[in-house]
Structures are given as C-alpha cells and as structure tokens.
Chain A
Amino acid sequence: MLNTIWFALWGLLWAVYFMLDGYDFGVGILHPFIAKDDLERRMVINTIGPVWDGNEVWLITAGGATFAAFPTTYAYMFSYLYTPLFLILASLILRGVSFEFRGKIESEGWKKFWDFVIFLFSLIPAVLFGVAFGNIFEGLPFDASGYHGTLFSLLNPYGLLTGVFFLLMFLEHGALWLSFKASNSVAERAQATAKKIWPILLIVAVIFLIYTKFATNLYNNYFNHPIWFIVPLIAVLSLLLMRVFMNTSFVKAFFASCVMIVTVVFTGVIGLYPNLIPSSIDPSYNLTIFNSSSSQYTLKVMLIVAVIFVPIVIAYQIWANLLFKEAIKKEDLEDKEVETY
C-alpha cells in the first residue's frame, strides 16, 4: 500500500513539475519571437521572474523523492540516462543564471547573448524530458548484465515523438501564460501564437495516443481496468476545452492546459504501474515499486513528512502566485523602486 501511495506521489511530483516549469520553458523558447524589443523581452522574462525558481524546486523534490522512495530506480534511472541528464542539468544551470545575468551589464550584445541562452536552454530540456519519459514508457534495454542503450538508442521514433509532444505542450502552455501575464501587443502576439500552436498540438497528441498503443505496453492496465480511461479522457477533453476557452478567457485556457499536462503525465504513470522503469529486454528485470523501493519504515517516515509539509508548500506557493497575479506592464519595468530582471 505504502509503495502504491509513493508511486502516486512520484507521479504527482513530476506532473506538478511539468505543469509549472513547463510554462517557464515555453516562455523561454517563445520570448525572442513574441517580444520585439528589449523592454518587451524584459516584460516576458519578468512574467516568470518571481516564480521560475520555486517551480524548479519541484524537479529537485521529484529527484529527491525518487531517491528516498525508490533508490534502486533512482540509481539506475540516473546512470542509464546519463548523457540526456547531463544535458538537462547544463541547460537548467545556464537558463537559471541567464535570468540573473542578462540585465546586469548594459550592452546590446550581452543581452542578445543571454536571450539566445534562454531560448536554447529552455528548448533542450523541454525536448529531452519528453525523450526521457518516452523511453521510460517504452522501457529501457537493461538486464542482469546491465544497460545496453546509448544516447542514440534513446532517440528512437517513439522517444522523439514524445519529445516533440512535450515541446508542443510546453510551447502552448507558455503562450497561454503570456496571453494574460504580459500586456498590450506582447499579450496579443502570445494569444495569436497560442491559437496557431493548438492545431499542431492536437495532431501530435492524437499521433502520440495511437503510437503509444504500438510502441509501449501502457494500455494494458487500461484494458484490465477500464475505469482508468477517465484520465486520458480528461486529457483529451482539456485539450479541446483549451481551444474553446481561448475565445473567451486565456486564464481558463491556461488552467485547461495545466490539467492537460498533469493528466498526460498520469496517463503514462498509470500505464506504467507497478513498474517505474520497464526493461525492454525482459519484463522479469522491470524495476517495480516493490523491487526498487525503500523499506516500509522509510516510506512511512517520508509519507508523514510529505503529508505535513507539502500542503504548507502548496499554500504559500499559491499565496506567492496570487501576489504576482497581475499582468506585467511596461510602466512596471520602468519603475525604479521595484526590482525587475
């Protein structure tokens, strides 16, 4: 039971991470295209300024929880996905410092350079997280003698498709975020972009759902317990609603996008159960929530910690988000009494 609870929490941490940092990635990738001058670029960056750092902590927590609850999976997942994880790490490092560094020297070239860094190193993790999860859904080639894959074996068609799918989800998510967090012409461009990306996202989502049937075993759990079909159904429904909302309220469309990202992650996670990482060579080597977990004692201690503290974290993160809920205006950026990037 504890193992299953931790499996759900593990999925939830990744889902929340993608829901939050997802729009940071989208904003980072879109900002050179949506913003036309330095002031507009600063507006775009400042929409995520107060929150990107707190969003990224969900990744650290997801990593920490994997380590604490499923140490064997942590050990294998991180050493098997060595190169993509290094690239993700380097990207997160560069993206993080670029927000801080960009405005610190008054020079056109300096700012252009960091704008490019923000773009590229938001793009790379957005795709690579998708590639990594696509490969986990498919299973990784490992058995008793170890791991037999390479970076290039990760770049298989299904892995790449998942990468593109994640990228599009994050782009849409970021465009929707800017649609109501930025103002004037920047917001208008973001709204137009959100509408343009949507049909492509729809097509790729449909291909993903179909290809998943052939490339993975994820659907087995669903056919055994059809009630769970409700989760992918909500994902599809929120994708459709997202477009409907775009005609009336971009805030609502953004929340539909949040629901979609969470339910997409859970579509995969439910399909994996009880595996964390299946072996594509032989199912008897699958890393499951039972053979790779911590002791019951540790799972219990960690559950107590999570039950007490995660709601507190969520409460103050919501408070902080509401504090900065207003759209960023150009005047805000010129106010010398307020700190901005």
Chain B
Amino acid sequence: MDTVLLARWQFAMTALFHFIFVPLTLGLSFLVAIMETAYVKTGDEDYLRMTKFFGKLFLINFALGLVTGITLEFEFGMNWARYSKFVGDIFGSPLAIEATLAFFLESTFLGVWIFGWKKVSKKVHALSAWLVAFGTNISALWILIANAWMQHPVGYVIRHGRAEFVNFWAAVLQPYAILKFLHTIHAGFVVGSFFVMGISAYHLLKNHDVRLFKKAFKIGAYFGLYAAIVVFIIGDLHASEVARTQPTKLAAMESVWETEKGAPMYLFLIPDEAHERNVVQILGIPKMLSILAYHNPNSTIKGLKSFPKKDRPPVTITFVSFRTMVGLGTLFILLALYAFYLVKTDKVFEKKGFLKLMVYAIPLPYLACELGWIVAEVGRQPWIVYGLLRTSQATSTAVNSAQIIMTLIGFIFLYGVLGIIDIYLLFKYARKLPESATTEGGY
C-alpha cells in the first residue's frame, strides 16, 4: 500500500483519538476551576465535593489526552520528514513554545492540584486549578497557530528550498489563527458544559445528592449557553475567513460545483463527486451562501469546477462533516437555552424527559468536535500546507509502508485498549456518588 495513504490514516487516527480527550480537558478544566472558586468564595461544602467529583473525571480523561499528544509531536518527524524539513523553520517554533509556555504550566500545577490538598492554602489550590485551565488553553493556542499556518501560510519566504520565517508575529496574530483558536476552545467549553450537565442530569434522575447536582447543572447551563453561542458566532466568522483564504475548502464544505454570483444555500443536497454535480439539491435559500461566506448577498462563490481536479479536496466527506457539525451546533444552542431557562425558573428537577435527553446528549459535542477537525484537515487536501506543499510530497523517504503498517496496527491496538479502559473508568466514576466532605476513598 501507498505510504502517503498509510501515513495519512495513521495521522488521522492518532489525531482524532487524541481529540476525543482534549476538548473535555479544555472545557472541564475551567469548569472545575469555577467550582473550586465557588467553594473558596462561599465556603459551601457542596462546591468542594463537586470539585473533587468532577476533578476525578477530569484526571481520568486528562491522562489519555496527555500521553496521546506526544505521539503527534513525534509523528511529524517519523512519518512526515519531508514536511518537517520544509516547514520546520516555521512550524517547529509554535510547538516548542507550546511545550515551554503551556505544557510545563499545566503538568506542574496539575501535580500541585492533585497532591497538594493539604500542602497549599485553599486559595493557592484554586489558583492551581486556574493555572491548569490556562495551561491547557494556551497549549491549544500555539498548536492552532501552527495548524493555521498550514491552512493559510503567512509571514514567510521560500528560501534554501524551504519556507523560512520573515515575520513571526504575522503567523501568530493572523485572523485565521485567532478565529480557529477561539472556535476550538469554545467547542471544548461546550463539550465540558454538556458533560457536566449530562452527568448532573443522570444523578438528578436518580435522586442522588440533588442539592449538589442542581448547583452543578446550573454552572453547566450558564457556561454552556455562553459557549454554544460564542462557538457558533466565531464559527461563522471562521467560515468567512476560510472563504477568503481557502476557496477550494469552502466549495467542498458547501458542495458548490458551479461558480455563481449571489449563490443560494441548499438545505438538502447530495453530492455526486464522480459526475461533478449534486444529485439532489432542494430547499434553496436565495443568496444565503454568499451572505454567509462574504457577508454580502451579491458576492461570487467559486465552484469546484473552476479549480483543476488535482487541487480539489474530497467533497462528500467535507460536506457531510460540515453540515452535521453546523446542525449539531444549532442543536446545542437550543438545548443550552432551554437548560438555562429551566435553571432560571428553577424547574430543572421537574423536567425528567429533558434531563434524560441531556444524559444522551453528552457524546454529541464530542462528535461535533471530531467533525470540525475532519472539515479542517480533509478540506485542506490535497495540500499539507495550503497552496505550498502537497500532502503526497511530504512523507518520510526513509520509512517504508511495512513500517507504517506495523506502527498503525500498534497504535490501533494500544489506543483501542486504552480508550476502552478510560471510557469504562469515566462511566464508573461518573455513576459513583460524590463522596461526603471528609472521606475520599477509592484508591
């Protein structure tokens, strides 16, 4: 089998697996910090028990997110040596900065947070939770700056047969990077909020510790509503940025074949890549796509046919992933709004049907995150660095397909087993009752 395809499968698999655990870390870290701060401010023991309860789930989840991240850093060199050589002058810096600014902060203060309950004051302990939260989110910033450069390279020249930095800040501060960062962390906040609301709903349905879980649900609902709205707004701005910088990706996201001025958006559509058309496209909203893409009803949307075939990304998977993600994002706003309304009117406990729905809604934001990543990465194809370097030119020449197959199988087996154990433990500890304020068993 072709090494390029194998290396892509391996990267997709290891990155998507890593990204099962990361969004929850991004969101839950802030939620746990908020819970602990509430405890420090009010002295209410419920918040302390809540902090420990969700903190334990945070740690089980964090362990796998951390270790699977190292794989990705190594994988660039192992499978993508020609890419690493070509972009290293630029791409290596944010990775090294990520480790220096974020990973040390997050891991050191996580150690203080886990083991330091009796070693530091309450305030310093809560501060550690905030530093962990900032650490994880700063790490998202730098890795997404790196990814944004692959999507929209700026601040470089081609010299000595590679891309070299001429302006570091151009890459760090470009709108693509900032929007991608804000979109991603808010997606993580949605995951965290729905996780807290869903697990609280589960316990409320069972009449467990009602006082505590109503408070937890409230925190989840407030944070969730904020995050669901912001992720949607930033998502819209981000899509416009994609339209401006990556026209082939936008065309694939909407499955647009023909170039059109004032393009409509079809609510239902089935792409047919082989014949370069859509089999079905109905329920069109006039000029909507032009409005969404450029915030101008008469703007021109370039169709896929205006690009050579060798420059087009896979359409169906990009389109379906994007549509599903947007649909889910809309659903999250509605669910979060209703949850917020119930909290405000103090009716959470009465709406058993809705609570049940929220339990089953836990995996949905995860799905949206994975789909978003697929849109970003598959939609960039056939480029590894948009417009500069093709994915097919980026693999390691020293590595053969047998080696990639071997490590791919190794990763699938390893990740499969660890993923099952981790998710089992998350279920087990999510179902447990929070411990009373003085006992802390389980180990």
Residues of chain A whose beta carbon lies under 8 Å from any beta carbon of chain B: 42, 46, 49-51, 53-54, 56-57, 59-61, 63-72, 74-80, 82-83, 85-86, 89-90, 92-94, 96-97, 99-101, 103-105, 142, 146-147, 294-295, 297-298, 301-302, 305-306, 309-310, 313, 316-317, 320, 323-324, 333, 335-341
Contacts and interface: CB of A to CB of B under 8 A. Distances in A.
Contacts of B93: 68, 294, 298, 301-302, 305
A110 B175 CA distance: 49
B267 interface: no
The 8 closest A-B pairs by CB, nearest first: A71-B88, A78-B77, A68-B92, A67-B92, A64-B96, A50-B111, A79-B396, A75-B81
Contact of A294 (B77, B89, B410): B89
A305 B165 CA distance: 15
B96 A96 contact: no
B114 A49 contact: yes
B66 A53 contact: yes
Given A89-B71, A100-B60, A323 B88 contact: no
B331 to A, nearest CB: 33
Chain A contact residues: helix, strand, loop or mixed: helix
Interface string B83-100: 011011111110111111
B237 to A, nearest CB: 28
A301 B165 contact: yes
A97 B397 CA distance: 33
A305 B142 CA distance: 13
Contact of B74 (A78, A105, A323): A78
Contacts of B399: 79, 82
A150 B153 CA distance: 36
A265 B81 CA distance: 26
A251 B92 CA distance: 38
B443 A103 contact: yes
A340 B443 CA distance: 7
Nearest to B403: A82
A323 B112 contact: yes
Given A49-B115, A74-B76, 12 more contacts: A50-B115, A57-B103, A67-B92, A71-B85, A76-B81, A78-B76, A104-B429, A295-B89, A310-B100, A313-B104, A323-B112, A324-B115
A79 B92 contact: no
A104 B68 CA distance: 20
B73 A63 contact: yes
B170 interface: no
Interface residues of B, number: 77
A310 to B, nearest CB: 7
Given A54-B107, A72-B85, A77-B77, A97 B67 contact: yes
Given A97-B64, A298-B89, A302-B96, A67 B76 contact: yes
Interface in B20-65: 59-60, 63-64
A92 to B, nearest CB: 6
B118 interface: yes
A76 B76 CA distance: 11
28 contacts: A50-B116, A53-B110, A60-B70, A60-B103, A64-B73, A64-B96, A64-B100, A65-B92, A65-B96, A67-B91, A68-B92, A75-B88, A78-B81, A79-B398, A82-B396, A82-B407, A85-B74, A93-B418, A99-B63, A100-B63, A103-B442, A294-B164, A294-B165, A297-B168, A301-B165, A320-B111, A336-B438, A338-B118
B111 A53 contact: yes
A90 B407 CA distance: 10
A90 B406 CA distance: 13
